[in-house]
């Protein structure tokens, strides 16, 4: 890890009027959550068609078997890591305004970030397919599949974005607004391959914003839109960055 680059990144963040963190699967790998894609990804173990909205509507109980399995093996077990905690500390220091995440693991909220735009929803909530009532994910509620709304009895769906579903309108609108609003985009653990999320930092760059990228390996973004590339594991880089911001405060 290059300390000079960490110092440069800290300087950008300190002088920014507004900073956003834009996160993807790479930030949660060290919390034990595999990415969906890639050789060891969840899609090598599960059939992604089970998370297609048309399949879910036709076969909710079968889809829920898969969802319950994924939740208990991964999303329900994991804890925030040093990178999530660094972002929460940055928010507390007034050096980070908002997190936009593509992850559905709830780890930014668990770490303590107050303003998290959930671009793909959240696996820890269930929403009613009929009355929009929200329910927490509990063992009781999924004891019988498919789980049903305690208010109206309709089938509950996990509150994350399925294949074939649009991005939640408010999240989309708020995230797009940051592409003209925030001066600095701190892009962590995302390779710029999942659309439409990948368009956000590209749009920010087009608007003249500074892009700081944190990734283990160069990505689609590096050399295209990235101004500062901090190569390394998210926990290492973010711990160093937050320490730098702490010292300079």
The token pair at 202 is 């590209």
CB of 157 to Zn ion, least distance (A): 11
Select which of 12, 50, 108, 120 is catalytic.
120
Candidate ranges 8-16, 110-118, 121-129, 190-198; the one touching Zn ion (CB under 5 A): 121-129
Q: Can residue 126 be called a binding residue for Zn ion (CB under 5 A)? A: no
Does position 131 interact with Zn ion (CB under 5 A)? The reply is: yes
Q: Is 133 or 231 the residue whose CB approaches Zn ion more closely?
A: 133
Instruction: Tell me the HSE value of 14 on the side-chain side, using a 13 A CA sphere.
Output: 15
Of 4-12, 60-68, 96-104, 132-140, which part binds Zn ion (CB under 5 A)? 132-140
Residues whose CB is less than 8 angstroms from the CB of residue 164 and which lie 6 or more positions away in sequence, other chains included = 52, 53, 54
Chain Cα centroid distance, residue 233: 16
Q: What DSSP string runs through 181-221?
A: H-SEEEEES--S-STTTTHHHHHHHHTT-EEEEEESS--SS
- Stretch touching Zn ion by CB under 5 A, among 92-100, 147-155, 166-174, 212-220: 147-155
Q: Is 133 in the site for Zn ion (CB under 5 A)?
A: yes
For 36, half-sphere exposure in the C-beta direction (CA atoms, 13 angstrom radius) is 18
Of the residues 151, 170, 196, 223, which one makes contact with Zn ion according to CB under 5 A? 151
Q: Which residues bind Zn ion (CB under 5 A)?
A: 128, 130-131, 133, 149, 151-152, 154
């Amino acid at each position: 890890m290059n300390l000079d680059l960490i110092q440069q990144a800290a300087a950008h963040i300190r002088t920014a009027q507004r900073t956003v963190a834009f996160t993807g699967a790479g930030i949660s790998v060290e919390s034990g959550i595999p990415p969906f894609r890639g050789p060891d990804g969840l899609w090598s173990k599960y059939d992604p068609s089970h998370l297609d909205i048309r399949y879910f509507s036709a076969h909710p109980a079968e889809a829920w078997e898969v969802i319950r399995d994924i939740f208990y093996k991964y999303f329900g077990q994991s804890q925030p890591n040093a990178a999530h905690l660094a972002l929460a500390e940055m928010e507390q220091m007034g050096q980070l305004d908002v997190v936009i995440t593509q992850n559905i693991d709830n780890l930014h909220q668990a770490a303590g970030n107050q303003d998290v735009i959930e671009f793909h929803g959240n696996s820890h909530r269930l929403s009613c397919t009929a009355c929009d009532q929200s329910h927490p994910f509990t063992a009781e509620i999924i004891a019988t599949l498919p789980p049903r709304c305690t208010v109206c009895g309709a089938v509950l769906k996990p509150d994350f974005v399925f294949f074939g579903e649009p991005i939640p309108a408010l999240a989309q609108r708020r995230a797009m607004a940051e592409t003209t609003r925030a001066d600095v985009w701190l892009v962590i653990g995302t390779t710029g391959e999942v659309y439409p999320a990948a368009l956000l930092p590209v749009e920010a760059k087009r608007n003249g914003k500074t892009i700081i990228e944190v990734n283990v390996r160069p990505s689609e973004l590096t050399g295209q839109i990235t101004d500062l590339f901090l190569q390394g594991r998210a926990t290492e880089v973010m711990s160093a960055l937050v320490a730098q911001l702490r010292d300079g405060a």
